[in-house]
Amino acid sequence: MDIFFALRNDVSNMVEKMEFWPSALIGFVVMLILSVLPLPGPLIGGFIAGFLFKDGVIGGIKVGLAAGIFGAIVLSILLFFGLTMFLGIIGLVAGLLGGFVLIVFALYNGLFALVGGALGGLLAGKG
C-alpha cells in the first residue's frame, strides 16, 4: 500500500514539474508574437507564463525568466541572421563586433520577462 502512495506522489510531482515548461513555452510564444513592441512583449510574455504556472511570486519569477531566456536566444539569433542577410558581409562583421548588443538584448528581455512573471505569479497566487 505504501508503494502505491509513493508512486502516486511521484507521478503528481512529475505532472507539477511538467507544467513549468508548457507555461514557459506559452509565455515565449506570446513574447515572440509581441516582439515588435519592445517593452510590452517580454513583460506580457513573462506575465502570462507566471499566471499560467500559478506558483506564487517565486514560481512566476522562475518561469518568466525561462520564457525570457528562450525569447532572448531566439530573437537574438533571428536578429543576427536577419542583419547578416540584409547587410551581407558587413552585417556579419557588425554582428560579430556588436555581440555585446545581443547580451544587452538578452538581459533586457530576461529581466522584463522576470518582472512580468513575478506580477503574473502574484496575481495568480499559489494554486
Q: Domain-by-domain residue ranges, the chain?
A: 17-124
64 burial (CB, 10 Å; 0-12 / 13-18 / 19+) is: buried
Average pLDDT on 81-96 reads 67
Residue 11 has pLDDT above 50, yes or no: no
Residues 88, 58: Cα–Cα separation, whole Å: 44
Q: What is the band of 108 on the pLDDT scale with cuts at 50, 70, 90? A: confident
The model's pTM: 0.75
Average pLDDT on 55-78 reads 89
Residue 33 has pLDDT above 80, yes or no: yes
